[in-house]
Every structure is written in C-alpha cells, then in structure tokens.
Structure 1
Amino acid sequence: MAEAAQEEKEEVISSKILTPSERILGRLEQLAKLDDKVLDYKSRQYLSTWSAYEQFIGQVEKWYNRNSRRYMKYMSQYGKDVISEVEFKTVMHDLRVPFSDVQVHILFMWLDSKRTGEVEFSRLSEALYVALYKRFAVDDDHTTMNIEDQKKWIRMTFKSPTCEPLEMLTTFETLIHLGFTGAMLTELVRVHVPVLATRNFVIFTDQFRCSETLVHCNQHLYEFEYNGGPQCAPREGTIFYEFSMGHIDCPLLLNLNPKEKSRPKESEVPGQHDATSPIIKDQTSSN
C-alpha cells in the first residue's frame, strides 16, 4: 500500500511539472498511437499498386522541391533535429500540404523506418529515395518475375571529372535500376559524397558534357544507351556528375545557349574598340 501511494504521489508531482502544452502533446501522442493501426492498414492499401507508389513519390518530390525552405523553417521551430510523430504531423498540417492524413502518415513511416516514434525531419528527401529503392527491390519477385523484364539492373560507377585530378574521394559504385531518374541520381551523389560543399549537381552519361548526354531531372536511365541485367548479375556502367551553379539544367552548357551563339563577337561590332583598348582574339575561331 505504501509503495502504491508513493507511486501515485510521484505521478501527481510529475504531472504538476508538465506545462499545459506538454500535457496536450502527451495526450495527442496517446491518441496518435490508437490511430496508427488504422492508418497503417490504409497506407498499405494506398500503396498496393506500383503506379500509386510512383505517383505519390513524384507528388511529394515536386512539392518538396518548391517548399523545402518553408518545410525546414517550420520544422526547425521545435529547436531540435529529432521530433515526435505528433510534432511532425502538426507541422505538416500547419504547412497546409496537399496530402491526406494517410499520405502524411506514409511520409512519417518512411522517415521512421526503425519504428522508434521519432524522426529526423531533415532527411525527407533521402527517405523518398530509400522508399523508392526498396520498392524496386521488393518488386523483384523470383517466383513470378519475367526474366526479360527484370534485366534492368546496373552496377553504376559515379565519377566527377573535375574532382578526379584533385584526388578527392568522389568516385563510388552502387547498384541501381534503369528506372532511376536524374533527380534520384543526384540524390545518390548527395548521400554517397557528403564531403562536397555544394548540394547541387548535374548528371551526364559521358565525360564530354553536352546537351545530348545531360540527364534531366525527370528522365530515366533507360532513355539512354545503358543495358541492364538481372539483379543477381547486373551489367556495369559509368556515369558522370558535375557541380551546378544554379543555371537551368546545367551551367556548364552556357556555350549551347542559342542567345550566346547568336551574339556577335566583340571584334565584329564596329566602334567598340579604340586605340588604347586591346582586342581579345577568339582562341577557338579559325583564320
């Protein structure tokens, strides 16, 4: 009896220490656990087909690319990197995201892959890539697969021509599917080479960077000259990445800009030079 009274007293004391907001948050977390069973079931139903899975990831990726700053700003208001389920879903509600409760729950599950009840909100973009990669692996069912359809895996070597002469550890290998898009490939670079100062990259299929070899964000690898194999024996391939300075698609392709091509050379414009100003000769022009 004495021990029970002591425990009851401790509970009363601890409840007095909690602020009203903390008590409300605790109650919401209890209710969230009750809702999780229903939401888990509805989430599995929603993602039962590949088309729904791919479409949802595309919607989230598009939204995140446009609202990543607002997302990080709102999530950072808690003053911590790891937040609870209720805190995550509350912020998503405040952001007025174009997703249903089931879809927001799916995002939380992807972030909370170990089912700890807490997530690192800054890894949302990485969670999308991991979720899509896992789905590719799950779909490789040896009991029902068509061998020809499954020959889409490639062990890709990622290289950066700019960094290689500097002896930087920027070359890596990974197993990927030919359905990977340019956006997914850039995310792979961010994950495997975190030492780089910039987070913006452009992908090329050839070390000679040109518009024909540029992989746009929404382009798939199977649109290029890559041949895959089964997951157990993938083909090998090489792809290249460079830094982006914010120019549309690729700042390294400025010479391909039609406006740049049509602009006359300084030496062809009359009245642009006087006797004291040297004329810079175009090194690439032929005599």
Structure 2
Amino acid sequence: MPIKKKKSGKSKKKSGKKSVSRAAGDSGGEDEGIEEPVTAISGETPPPKPTTPNKKKKKSAKKMTKSEKAMAKLDKAAGKIRESGGAFHKFISRMDRWITVYYPKAVELFQKFDEEGFGTLTYEEFKSGMYDLDAPCSTVELHLLARLLDEEDTGDIDYTKLAKGLQFVREKEQLKRNEEEGASRLILSERKLEHCACCKLGLWHPYTEKNPKYLLVEMRLVTFDNFEDHPGHVTFVIHLHATIQALIQLIRDETDIQCTTMAIFEDASRSKDAYLPEHKTLDELGFFGGSIDNPEEITLFYDYMVEFTDCPLLLCDHYFGQKH
C-alpha cells in the first residue's frame, strides 16, 4: 500500500487557514491574511462591540421636604374651595367685610413686620399677622387669601392692596365667568369621580352649575302692601333655576305662616294673568339673574288663604236653631 506523506496534510491545513483569512476580507498576501487571536497576554484591547440604543431611564422623582409637602397639601385644599363656587363667594364676601372694617389695624400690625418698608410681606408674616388679628377664616382659607393677594405668584404679598378690600378678586372672577359663558359649548368628557379612602369606589356628587345666576327677590304680602315695613315682607337671594314652589316654602320658613293655600303673583292685582304657576322656574318665567355679587333685583307679591279645619268653636253650629 502506498504511504501517505505528512507534508501534503500540513499543506492542506495551511491552505484551509489561508482561505478562511481571505474570506474574512483581507486582500493582502498570504501571510498578511492570517490573524492572531487576541488574548489578555498580548495586551491588545478587543474591538469595540456594536452599541445598541439604550432605553431612556426614568428620572426619579425629587423628594419633597416636609414644608413643601405641607404647602402642596394647602394648595390642593385651597383649590377645592376656589372651585366650589358658592362656598368661595361666601368666603370672599365674609373676608371683604372684615378687611374693610379692620384694615387700619391690620396695616399698623403689618408695618411692624415690614422692617424695610417695601409694603410687602412673606406668606408666613402675613399669616402670623392675620392670626394675631383673629381673622374669621380657617388655615386653608387663610392660605387661599394669601394666594389671591399674590397675583403674580412671587411669594410676597402687597398688603397695601387691602385698602380696597377684595373687590379686585370679585372683578377677576366676574371676568372669568363672562369669558367662560362667551366660549361655552357642549363638550363630552368622562366624569372623574372622587374615590373613597376606604373602599376606593367612586363617590357621586349632585350636579352643580359652574356659573349660576341669582336673584334678589323681595316678597311683599299683598294685603299689607301699603305698609313699608311689615313682618310679612321678606327678602332673600335665590337661584335662578328655583321654582315658585321653592319660593313659597322659603316664605313659610321666614314668616311661620300656617296656611293651606299660598300663591305668588307678578303684581299686586292678584289677577289670573299675574299668577305664577308653582311648577315653573324663575328662569322659565323670563328672569335673567346676575352674579352672586350683583344679583338681579325683582319684586313679587304673595297672598294666602287660611281654612279652619281643626277649631271646634269656629266649626260649631252655635247660631243654628236659635229662636229669636
């Protein structure tokens, strides 16, 4: 048998290595195409690996200090009062009356805090002064008042503006309501419910109109209309969407009149044309209303009838059957 030469095997292996190196893309000579493996001993750094775009890491939320948490909690509570509508207007009216009366005393106290005489105070100085003056408001309401006085959100309060009371706040709110009414349109949106702290279920609240209208109604008892001051003449502020039946109930609550029938009229004639149906609202009857600060003033008349059904003396037939 013929013996295989070992040299021919080595040459095949070398040719195999050369073909691999050439397949790798080197166009040089045969010796230049052979690459040595990279090791830690050789001291050479490995070629850089292809980089893949890293996902953006979420920035960790900045931890709030105790004072910042307390301020955020006050802002949230104050925002709820401002969005409440009726409660906010009552708060503004109450503080406006109080500031008008106690403004000289308040300025004298605030000037002691204002050492540099710039006419401004920090939130803490303003709140401390209001506490010393026994202002009729809670902690949240006082914070809301400070926010309202700090119109430019600078952190300083110009206490000299208190000379005019809170009229500027009312004017801003009125302008805001007018703009919203002018740009009002039907928008369908998902209603967000406040969640219960215990069961996490949504809490439903009755619908409240965003910009309600009001009337200042003077109710005069027709029988005593000639008298300027009479216990039967009552005045109250009522919502424009209130019904005539609601007016009747308010009259009964104010005057304690015990009757079976009561009617409201547009004038003192008590005619059929002047009668206002109980199921109609004031809006449906043609009244326009105004803001809570400047309601539309109207005068209506009412009368009632008393039927004696439980008095034995008035119901007895005493005179029947008597001989003259």
TM bin, normalised by shorter chain, reads 0.3 to 0.5
Provide the TM-score with structure 1 as the length reference: 0.39
With CA pairs under 8 Å and 6+ residues apart, which has the higher RCO, 1 or 2? Answer: 1
Whichever of the two has the greater Rg, that structure is: 2
Structure richer in helix, relative to its length: 1
Provide the TM-score with structure 2 as the length reference: 0.35
